[in-house]
Structure 1
Amino acid sequence: MGTDQPQSKLPRGAVALIENSRGELLLHLRDDIPGIAWPGRWSALGGGCDPGESPREAIVRELDEEAGLAVEDLVELFEVPDPGGSSDVVTVFAATWNGDARDLTLTEGVKLDWFRPEHLSSLNLPPFLREALRRYLGDCRW
């Protein structure tokens, strides 16, 4: 338990890799404005943990706040470092959703879209998300 103390003081975040039944992943294009992490890049929905909030609580809140999205099958996968972002450690979750991205009410970022794994390598993605996708999909899928 003592080894968890120092890490709990690091800024933490959470993202959700949301996949549909066609094997596509839901990503959003971040705003290109000063003061935000990874401006103008495609990323997974998510954000930072508020004080006292667990990564699971944060991702549920962020999905609702950013896109009005609620998923039933949220699974915690692993953590990845994000030294260039607003969180030092990002907890990665996975879920499924089969809706139309255009039906979601996006409150942050420019747009939402579905992407096939083989197209992800051509996108401008934050390094932490590239690592998370490699671990989630395996190298053979992209």
Structure 2
Amino acid sequence: MHSDTTANPEPGAARGAVAILTNRRGELLLHLRDDLPDIAWPARWSLLGGGCDPGEDPAAAIVRELDEEAGLTAVPLTELFDITDHRGSGQIITFFSGTWDGDETGLPLSEGVKLQFFAPKHLDILTIPPFIRDGINRHLAARPS
């Protein structure tokens, strides 16, 4: 795993996890967040995920969050890297990647407004938090062409 944070993050630093899920066409599954004043990055397109519960590591958190937010279970995930959300929650976010080829419109969304697959070429027109956009771009740049 590669990190843009220090080698040893502060003990007790807030952690979170997100998943870059792609389908066989190479489209990315994005989550339109609720427009609520008490959440980080309201009304923005983001990735599924969230904060770690006390004592929970990011790998367990992303499995829990995918299930809680969209009913996605048993999605094989690969840990990628950490990015700190300096301009939002302040959390150290671990990015994971995986593949899922289902119909996003049939998922039982429990948070946010909607889920939708987007081709990478259309991401520039979306309002995406900077640290999420950075993570997606890093992931896309590292993929074989």
Same topology, TM > 0.5: yes
Q: Name the residue aligned to 2:73.
A: 70
Write the distance in 2 (CA, Å) between the matches of 1:32 and 1:138.
Answer: 30
Q: Name the residue aligned to 1:17.
A: 20
Q: 2:128 is aligned with what amino acid?
A: L
Residue from 24, 32, 50 that aligns with 1:29: 32
Write the distance in 1 (CA, Å) between the matches of 2:15 and 2:74.
Answer: 21
Give unpaired runs (5+ residues) of structure 1: none
Runs of 4+ residues over 6 Å off in structure 1: none
Q: Name the residue aligned to 2:128.
A: 125
Write the distance in 2 (CA, Å) between the matches of 1:87 and 1:96.
Answer: 28
Residue from 91, 94, 97 that aligns with 2:94: 91
Normalized per residue, the structure richer in helix is: 1
Q: Name the residue aligned to 1:50.
A: 53
Q: 1:46 is aligned with what amino acid?
A: G
SS at match of 2:17: strand
> What is the count of residue pairs matched by the alignment?
138
* TM superposition shift of 1:87: 4.2
Residue from 109, 112, 115 that aligns with 1:109: 112
Structure 1 residues 53 and 87 mapped into 2: Cα distance closer, same or farther (>3 Å)?
farther
* TM superposition shift of 1:14: 0.3
Matched, 1:80 2:66: no
Moved more, 107-116 or 76-85: 76-85
Write the distance in 2 (CA, Å) between the matches of 1:20 and 1:67.
Answer: 16
Write the distance in 1 (CA, Å) between the matches of 2:84 and 2:100.
Answer: 26
SS at match of 2:31: strand
Matched, 1:61 2:64: yes
Write the distance in 2 (CA, Å) between the matches of 1:97 and 1:139.
Answer: 19
Q: 1:12 is aligned with what amino acid?
A: R
CA contact (8 A) 1:28 1:110 kept: yes
Give unpaired runs (5+ residues) of structure 2: 1-6
